[in-house]
Structure 1
Amino acid sequence: MVPTDRLELTTAVGQLHKELRALPDGADLARARVLTRWIGIGQLSLGNYDDARTFLRQSLDLAATLSNTHAVVATGLNLGDAHRYAGDLRDADALYRSALGTARQQHPELVDYALQHTGKALMERGDLAGAQAHLQEALRLRIAKGDTELVESTQAALDRMELLLAKAAASPAPGLTPRDWSSRWTSWLQSRTTTRTPARWAEDFPALRDATRALTAHQRVHPRHLRHQRDQSLPAALIAAMAEEAEKAVAADGYLHNGKWNAAVGDAANSFAEQVDLASVVARSTGMVVEQPHSAVYIAYTEAGQFLDFHVDELGFGEANLILCLRHERPSGAPQVSATVFINADRYLTCALAPGDCVVFDGALTPHGRTPLSAGESVTLISFGFRARDEALRAPTNLPSAPQ
């Protein structure tokens, strides 16, 4: 945001200040909201980030007081920009996620704007896979809107991201951070195949076989589908409590990440982890001795067509991952069921998880994703991360670079 005439903008912001000061205290909150927002945007354009954050926060608080959720989304994006331009990426990320969540729930006409802001922020942080997913979704929505100017704006951001991806792919492998290594493998996978169109898999797989063999040869855990009752049995009451907690958490504080809804776990998940020896479940099914889970997150898929494309998780999240299905609702007679899928060394592995089912795998070294939801289908999961007790397994060596 660069002013074409800095002096003119400074004068205009001064006039808005004057009008705001003239308002009686506590009177005309709607007008005060508008004025504080435009003062904040003006200060943002002038590079006065502290003032921008002050006024945009006031405007956001007024929007919430007035129950103006449209303004809450729009102003939240502005405030996120103010934090991002000031280098405060953590608060910016939280504001973007909150705005995107509110837009999806209450203002679909603003979803493309929230996706655009979030995608550009992710691009600046170096999360090119996340940026690509957000910007591509924004582009689809803007094409549907038929607004040429908006389409061009998103396409320009995608073009910039493609340049960054090409630059990253051309960089030498030595010195890569774990995040860079994972991001390059994810970008390569998503350029070669997709979970969205399962019919393409057989056609694409020969081109993936050698590369994925080199990758999965380092797996510390091979994917294994554990079916409820047959392979293990988990308390149904605890699973139901987590399903209810997850639904509320996603609705209240969920954020979109890589095409799926994520939300922080709460008391129900903590109680489950305390009462169930998940480390033993992993050890029995994989042969690898692990510590009790050090991380967990709720995951939800709620819309027809929603899917998770093939990717690998960042190294360091854990040597083993366990995904537990909490709820899977689908209409009877649905032609297909959304499933968790993996690329193994020689084949695709599909796990259609029912409530109580688990799948254990090495998320950092096993390409995985989820096929699209059918109409009326929804899936709620919880993902746990585990550390291997053998520290040598925590830092795999001689990992293959992503193909060019």
Structure 2
Amino acid sequence: MLDHLITHDDSLRMVPTDRNELTAAVGQLHEELRSLSEGTDPARTRVLTRWIGIAQMCLGNHDEARTFLRQSLDIAATIGNSRAVVATGLNLGDAHRYAGDAQSADALYRSALNTARGQHPELLDYALQHTGKHLMERGDLAGAQGHLQEALRLRIAKGDTELVESTQAALDRVELLISQTGAAAAGPAAPGQWSRQWTAWLQSRTTARTSSQWALDLPALRNAVAGLTTHQRVHPRHLSHQRDQSFPSVLLAAMAEEAEKAVAANGYLHNGKWNAAVGDAANHFAEQVDLATVVARSTGLDVEPPHTGVYIAYEEGQHLDFHLDEFGFGEANLLLCLKHDRPTGASRVSTTVFINADGYLECELAAGDCVVFDGALTPHGRTPLSAGEAITLISFGFRARDEAPRTLTGLPPIPV
């Protein structure tokens, strides 16, 4: 509808070909939207609100863009147009990304990508393209490259030259950034690549899925993990709701309810579990509870209030293999259990598990329990959930107040 008035700038973001013309075109769409009668097919309202939102995003009017795109997305979901849900979800993800809200953007991209894979493979290349650009801007260059390479293969198969050129331009930019940052080097110059390479090495040698193998796996891991341990800003510490730290039960229940709704509405699969953006209940909890003091008192690391958070949910059979988080999540993580449904009579329940040079540390978390650790330098995962088991968590990220713990040098290279 407005494609001819939109192009891409050097950073591959959408911008007007002519700002005045696009502004005038948006005004015309607004006029049509206002003139729609009460009995008009909601599909027309969906189309108009979507294009108004896209245009406002290109014009830099972020609040208007998100308002209209959210309206369009809600209409698409209400009328059952799942194809439009994918397309508009990607647009809304762009609007949040352009506005600097990477966390909300991530949730929208992952949701659209999962729906495209499962229901609309004809839109998968679009979902991969948008997600790839998002990952590129976040500094996850390897992830961006993988998504864009998959999109390129799909678009070559489609035979659409314009789409192929668009993806190739994005891929060229990612590869340029990789060459500029020295993606093969370990350390702060390429933290995302360093974390992913360490994760790949860990997962090639052990798994959280089968604890009976841990004793056999440890000798090959011991020296490598010891190198990580010496750099940890925080060592894993399990805080019991009954013994070490008591959080208001009403706030925990409110977050558990919010998490359930968020996962159902906008959850996305990530590393074999469900993730969802936090909302008002989580923000209220963080305002009422001095989490920075909880972290400082239990670890000795002076941190700022949490700068980010995400809901995490596991279902029966799911697990999380050992990995390292990227450095951007912070110097300390607080993983708080909101709900843990345990099957009656089960011989074993799922645990959060860490690897250090001495062995494996398992933490069984009940509602209100939490564990504090350095996710960027501590291999961690979750053992599989048994039949009838379900777990809901929230993970908060904290940054150290002092600059020194944030800047690490001499990190151990990826083992060979």
TM-score bracket relative to the smaller structure: 0.5 to 0.7
**Residue equivalent to 1:322:** 334
- Pair 252,307 (structure 1): closer, same or farther in 2 beyond 3 Å: same
What's the offset of the Cα at 1:30?
10
1:364 matches 2:376? yes
1:343 matches 2:343? no
Alignment of 1:41-190 (within 5 A): 64=76, 67-73=79-85, 75=87, 97-98=107-108, 101=111, 109-110=118-119, 125=135, 127=140, 171-173=184-186, 176-190=189-203
SS, match of residue 354 in structure 1: coil
Structure 2 contact 90–127 (Cα < 8 Å) conserved: no
SS, match of residue 192 in structure 1: coil
Structure 1 contact 80–96 (Cα < 8 Å) conserved: no
What's the offset of the Cα at 1:69?
3.9
**Residue equivalent to 1:5:** none
Give TM-score, length-normalised by structure 1.
0.66
**Residue equivalent to 1:226:** 239
1:375 matches 2:398? no
1:250 matches 2:263? yes
**Residue equivalent to 1:155:** none
SS, match of residue 199 in structure 2: helix
- Opposite residue 237 of structure 1, the aligned amino acid is V
> Which shows bigger deviation, 357-366 or 184-193?
184-193
- Pair 403,71 (structure 1): closer, same or farther in 2 beyond 3 Å: same
Structure 1 contact 96–117 (Cα < 8 Å) conserved: no
Structure 1 contact 279–289 (Cα < 8 Å) conserved: no
Alpha-carbon displacement from aligned partner over 1:190-244 (angstroms, at most 9, x marks no partner): 2222212223322222111111111111111110111111122221122112111
Gaps of 5+ in 2: 1-35, 52-57, 59-68, 149-156, 158-174
Give TM-score, length-normalised by structure 2.
0.64
Task: Give me the identity figure in percent.
Answer: 55
Whole-angstrom CA distance in 2 between matches of 1:330 and 1:233: 21
What's the offset of the Cα at 1:174?
6.8
- Pair 327,118 (structure 1): closer, same or farther in 2 beyond 3 Å: farther
**Residue equivalent to 2:251:** 238
In angstroms, what is the RMSD of aligned CA positions? 4.8
Out of 307, 310, 322, the residue aligned to residue 310 of structure 1 is 322
What's the offset of the Cα at 1:74?
5.5
Structure 1 contact 223–361 (Cα < 8 Å) conserved: yes
- Opposite residue 110 of structure 1, the aligned amino acid is Q
Structure 1 contact 294–385 (Cα < 8 Å) conserved: yes
Whole-angstrom CA distance in 2 between matches of 1:93 and 1:115: 21
What's the offset of the Cα at 1:128?
7.6
What's the offset of the Cα at 1:363?
0.9
Gaps of 5+ in 1: 1-24, 41-49, 51-56, 136-148, 150-163
Alpha-carbon displacement from aligned partner over 1:17-56 (angstroms, at most 9, x marks no partner): xxxxxxxx999969999x99xxx9xxxxxxxxx9xxxxxx
1:290 matches 2:290? no
- Opposite residue 255 of structure 1, the aligned amino acid is Y
- Pair 169,242 (structure 1): closer, same or farther in 2 beyond 3 Å: same
Alignment of 1:16-55 (within 5 A): none
